[in-house]
Structure 1
Amino acid sequence: MSEKQTAQQILKLIGGAENVASAAHCATRLRLVLHDTSIADTKAIEDLDLVKGVFTNNGQYQVIIGTGIVNRVFEAFSQAAGITEASTAEVANMGARGNPLQAVARTLSNIFVPIIPAIVASGLCMGILGYLTTNKLIDTNNFWYHLLDMVSSSAFIILPILIGFVGAKVFGGNPILGATLGGILTHPALMNAWSIGHGYPTAEVFGFDVGMVGYQGTVFPMLIAVWFMCKVEKVTHKIVPNALDIILSPFIILAVTGFVSMVAIGPFGRLVGDGISQGLMFLYTHAGPVAGLVFGGTYSMIVITGIHQSFHAIELGLLGDPTIAVNFLLPIWSMANIAQGGACFAVMFKKRDKKVTALALPSAVSAILGITEPAIFGVNLRYMKPFIGGLIGGAAGGAYVVWTKVGMTSVGLTGIPGLAIVRSESIMNYIIGFGIAFIVAFIASFLLTPKEDKAEA
């Protein structure tokens, strides 16, 4: 069945275009908000050749297609339905149901997912530069060294500007003003937090000393600041006359928000971010493999809720903290993803069914490449016991990578692609952890999964 035929069948089986309130797609899934989910024939949709699974989350009816092909299916779907694509943020908001934790996770996801390509590029470059420098393959006075150094640090230096731009869009403000606010908090007149030694300059404001320190590479100060800016912006537009709005409003918004951010929001946000980072560092240092065991064994369950997307904020906080400057969480997540791929392979070998193989093989490969939704929702959760086997493998792999102090230089890449951002001294242990997670998950799932379920019989 072609992508066009699949799209037409999905549209028909969900109740037609009149039942579609909004539609978008992510890397692997059609994300639909339906007026009436009950009329959708989920079983028939799951039986379509190109569909790897269907589930409902946060009011969204999500159809798992797979990387690459989902773009073509959605294009055909939108043409058949006569609709235009909404942003994933709009779909998330339309499908929202009153869980505050998931609402916060969705908001953080909508802010940080668009930023990931820039962070991945910088992190990948940082890994290459580290390898070249460690093995003395590049002269530190060379032009290429300086270029790679600038590329590897640029996204982290201007991270508040990126957060300001995207965050303002998500919170309903002016993205240019959001980016400008990020520029204020990273202005060259402020001392770079990465270069602070034993002291930093201060300025007196109403009898209080305010540190003249920038927020390069930080996350939480800018998140709070851009949220506050959007609130100020809405109030300002209401009270400023229309004739003066374009002149006075931007000045008032940036002056008020800039002052409050420097005096209160920035220091408070830094305190929150440092507290989270140092707390995790304490667990990582003192709990060691036990922390990896717990995090690796529970991560795939968190993926089901969608809350995992909010972890990018915490990971960026680790990278932006000069005392840590390494992402030790992502290797754990990577082991959990690989384990679900191993569990998916086990289903294929245990069932020995052509239809199961056609679904499980590409889903398992996708998980090993870092995209786990097809494996989790399309295969492992369908039989449940392989999912448990995947949790066991994730726990084993997570414990190993924490024990051996595997670290990454960026966010977003797991599985085999994650090798590109693993610190050079950790690559071998990352590969060993990969093997442990995969093999343990495969064996556990193979032993737990019956060859034939009662439902199948």
Structure 2
Amino acid sequence: MDVKEIAKKLVPLLGGKENIASAQHCATRLRLVIRDESKIDQKGLDEIEDVKGAFSNSGQFQIIFGTGLVNKIHAAFVKELDAEEAAAPVDHQEEMKKKMKMNPFARFARMLSNIFVPIIPAIVASGLLMGLLGMMKAFHWVSEDSALFVLLDMFSGAAFIILPILIGFSAAKEFGSNPYLGAVIGGILTHPMLLNPWTLADAKPEYMDLFGLSIPLIGYQGTVVPILLAIYVMSKIEKGLRKIVPNSVDLLVTPFLTVIITGFVSLVFIGPFGRYIGDLISISLQSLYDVAGVFAGILFGGLYSTIVLTGLQHSFHAIEAGLLANPKIGVNFLLPIWACANVAQGGAGLAVYFKTKNAKTKKIAIPAAISSFLGITEPIIFGVNLRLRKPFIAAAIGGAAGGGYVVLMHVVANAYGLTGIPMMAIAAPLGMSNLIHYIIGMIISVGVAFGVTWFMKLKED
């Protein structure tokens, strides 16, 4: 079935065009805001060959198609609706808010998720480049003084150096502000005149006297909390100015005052405060990791897939970025735990493939399991394991076992956004031992999940 055919089938099964308020997609799912979900033909959706699962969650009705396919179906689907190809994120969020009321914690987590998901490709690219550089250095493929190595080193660090600019743009869109002004504020916090803390070492920043206030000339490259706070304040300032500035001079006056006011406030107050908060969160997590040890790995590894059900796992990227930005930590010790939980879902799904007698389940299980081993778990979770329930529980046990092992062996990564087999590229630069223990952790997760599922009696009705 081609994507146009699928799109045509979806519209009536979802209650018709008038029942679909807005449509977006993520890496694996078509995300829809439906006016009346009682009009949805769930059985009909399940019978579409490429649908790996369909469910309602957090104000959205989500249909899983998998990576590479969902974006093509989305493009055909919005054309079928006579809508623009890319629905505005702010409009989609407004429709979601109308649809349901989230508690403050859920809203905050969803906000972080919306900010960080768009910038994941940049972080993934940088992480893979770091992995390539690490292997080039370890195996002496090229000299560290060669032009190729130097250029790749520049490419790999760029996303982390300008991270506040990327976050500034994305956060401004989420807060309903001008994204380009958000990027400017990110540029101010990473200006070349400010000392880069990544290269600080024993150097001390210079100080500037402003109206009796001593301002350290230190940048915020790689940080997260300062730019998030700055953009939130910027959005309030911009919206406030637009209410009082006459329309005739709005284009000139509002951006001008927004940048000046936010820039001063960010460098004098928000930046230092945000850095302190970010460091406090990172150091607290490091202390928990050190004290709880293996228990933390078992707990996080066992519960991570349950968090994936809510779609809030992307909010963790803010925490992971903070760990990498903190010069006292500089590594991501959470990602290997998440990775073990992800591949465990694939192990359970693989066992289902050999046990099930259902033709569609068998057809979904293998590609979905492979997708899980590559770090994308939604197809195997919603298409197979959660439907049968017991395999999902078995995967949680496998994730707990692998998570405990990688914490015990102090496995870490130098980026975020990659799990499963691809994460090997960002584990390798931190030593061969680190890579080997990560691979063992994955094998434990897959093996335990497969074994527990194998000995469970599945109910496929």
Out of 130, 141, 145, the position equivalent to 2:134 is: 130
Show CA shifts across 1:131-177 (max 9, x none).
22233433232222221221111111111111112221221222222
Q: Which runs of 5+ in 2 are unaligned?
A: none
Residue pair 1:118, 1:155 contacting (<8 A) in 2 also:
yes
Show CA shifts across 1:325-381 (max 9, x none).
211111111111100111111222222332320122222121111111111111111
Show CA shifts across 1:409-445 (max 9, x none).
2221111222222233222111111110001011112
Residue pair 1:409, 1:423 contacting (<8 A) in 2 also:
no
Cα distance between partner residues in 2 of 1:61 and 1:142: 52
Out of 305, 322, 325, the position equivalent to 1:320 is: 325
- Whether 2:83 is the aligned partner of 1:94: answer no
Cα distance between partner residues in 1 of 2:280 and 2:137: 32
For residues 133-172 of structure 1, what are the structure 2 equivalents within 5 Å? 133-172=137-176
Report what 2:208 is aligned to: 203
Cα distance between partner residues in 2 of 1:36 and 1:244: 43
Report what 2:349 is aligned to: 344
Report what 2:3 is aligned to: 3
Cα distance between partner residues in 2 of 1:159 and 1:143: 25
Cα distance between partner residues in 1 of 2:76 and 2:204: 60
Cα distance between partner residues in 1 of 2:168 and 2:126: 19
Structure 1 residue ranges (4+ consecutive) displaced by more than 4 angstroms after TM superposition: none
Report what 2:359 is aligned to: 354
Residue pair 2:388, 2:458 contacting (<8 A) in 1 also:
no
TM-score normalised over the length of structure 2: 0.94
- Whether 2:453 is the aligned partner of 1:445: answer yes
Higher deviation after alignment, 218-227 or 427-436: 427-436
Residue pair 2:298, 2:401 contacting (<8 A) in 1 also:
yes
Out of 114, 118, 128, the position equivalent to 1:114 is: 118
Cα distance between partner residues in 2 of 1:75 and 1:341: 29
The total of aligned residue pairs comes to 453
For residues 14-413 of structure 1, what are the structure 2 equivalents within 5 Å? 14-84=14-84, 85-87=86-88, 90-96=91-97, 97-99=100-102, 100-196=104-200, 197=202, 199-413=204-418
Cα distance between partner residues in 2 of 1:409 and 1:281: 15
Residue pair 2:341, 2:398 contacting (<8 A) in 1 also:
yes
Give the Å deviation of 1:56: 0.6
Give the Å deviation of 1:401: 1.3
Give the Å deviation of 1:198: 6.2
Residue pair 1:102, 1:306 contacting (<8 A) in 2 also:
no
Cα distance between partner residues in 1 of 2:332 and 2:324: 6
Cα distance between partner residues in 2 of 1:159 and 1:3: 35
Q: Which runs of 5+ in 1 are unaligned?
A: none
Give the Å deviation of 1:393: 0.4
Residue pair 1:360, 1:375 contacting (<8 A) in 2 also:
yes
Say if 1:88 and 1:28 are closer, same or farther in 2 by CA, change over 3 A.
Answer: farther
Secondary structure at the counterpart of residue 422 of structure 1: helix
Cα distance between partner residues in 2 of 1:427 and 1:34: 45
Residue pair 2:301, 2:404 contacting (<8 A) in 1 also:
yes
Out of 430, 435, 448, the position equivalent to 2:438 is: 430
Residue pair 1:51, 1:63 contacting (<8 A) in 2 also:
yes
Report the RMSD for the aligned CA atoms in angstroms. Answer: 1.8
Secondary structure at the counterpart of residue 364 of structure 1: helix
Residue pair 1:289, 1:402 contacting (<8 A) in 2 also:
yes
Q: Percent identity?
A: 52
